[in-house]
Amino acid sequence: MTCLDAAWPFAWAAPGDRVGLQVGSPQQEVARLLVALEASEAVVAEARELGADLLLTHHPLLYAPVTEIREDRPAGRLLAQILRAGLAVVACHTNLDVAPGGLNDYLAARLGLTQAAPLSLQGRDPWLKLVVFVPLGYEDRIRAALFDDRVGVIGRYSHCSFAARGQGTYLPEEGARPWRGQVARLERAEEVRLEVILPQSRAAAAVARMIAAHPYEEVAYDLYPLDNPAPPLGYGRVGDLAAPCPWAGFRDRLPEIFPVRGVRLWGEPPPEVTRVAVCGGSGGELIAAARDQGAQVFITGEVRHHQAVPGDYRHFVVLEVGHFASEVVFMPAWADDLQRRLTAQGAAVEVLVSRREEPPCVVSLW
């Protein structure tokens, strides 16, 4: 849970969204987990067969208030199967949508968008500066513990830090176990003041790693708030293609990205595509934002009838690829990312991705 919260903070979820641990105990041990878009009966059966301890989903299992658990009805039967299997269920929903490196960043990267930015800004993740005092010679050990994909990152540069030497003093009191020195004797130590910047959402996890790696019994450190422009958080992404692409060529790439045979389309396609917006899931409310920010194409999973209102759609097109198709493509990448993070923390957890997910419905003609 700490690993998930550090990468895709639950606090970033939309108000009223159901994220976090939904079924199971916080003390449950996890050796194997299965990643899936949602906890369908097929996915739950797959998790049981694989011996998974945890099912991690994008769509929450429990969203509307539960008023009954009846096994003669689908929802109750599914929940009973999960409980009997001792399977924990955790959801990362809108927090995964807005997070840097989350679902929408993945879609933007697959579409080849450069300098992609949130289509609808929801807030920012404030910057902090972490300063820690380290005995001389231990700087690299602490750096290695601190750095991750967002700690010590400035623009296109990672592993950024600053160090300055100085002298620290301390007097261990009765009961202390000093790393160097003696109780009741004033000590002087050659130390390094080590500084890194990090987003507020990563502070707790970074400090915990730092303390675990630090040789001192009591670690002296400071966290300073910064006024630097903070990383944006928001739904959808909008950006430019690396090079203009004819409409036909852009259209023909879509089945390579989304598992679809066809899409619903509103508007008049431009002769050439240079700027694209995308939003996984239900993004119909962002159609106007896509147009206002210069996109010629807006791709989303679901558009409700009243959202695709008639209007001047010349050289602007909305493509609906299906809610399922717009999000399920991210599940393998999400599983791989989580596996890397857990492995880096020394956690012996195997992360698998569901192979049995199917769209909730298919188009049938008869």
Q: 2-93+330-353, superfamily in CATH?
A: NIF3 (NGG1p interacting factor 3)-like (3.40.1390.30)
Residues lower than pLDDT 50 in the chain: 364-365
Element (H, E) at 122: strand 113-124
Return the domain boundaries, the chain. Answer: 2-93+330-353, 103-123+233-327, 126-225
Give CA separation, 321 vs 95, 118, 224, 277, in Å: 22, 20, 44, 13
Class of the CATH-defined domain 103-123+233-327: alpha beta
Give residue 365's pLDDT: 47
- pLDDT attached to residue 363: 52
Among 202, 54, 188, CA closest to 128: 202
Measured distance CA(290)–CA(120) in Å, rounded: 9
- Fold agreement between 2-93+330-353 and 126-225: no
Q: Domain 126-225: give its CATH code.
A: 3.30.70.120
Query: What are the beta bridge partners of residue 300?
Result: 279, 320
Please, where are the H alpha helices in the chain? 2-7, 41-50, 74-84, 94-98, 103-110, 139-146, 203-213, 247-257, 287-292, 323-328, 331-344
Q: CA-to-CA distance for 340 and 50, rounded, in angstroms?
A: 20
Predicted confidence at residue 185, as pLDDT, reads: 94
Distances (CA, A) of 211 to 128, 129, 215, 323: 17, 16, 8, 43
Residue 14: DSSP 8-state: P
Q: Which residues pair with 272 in a beta bridge?
A: 246
> pTM here?
0.85
HSE-up of 124 (CA within 13 Å, CB side)? 11
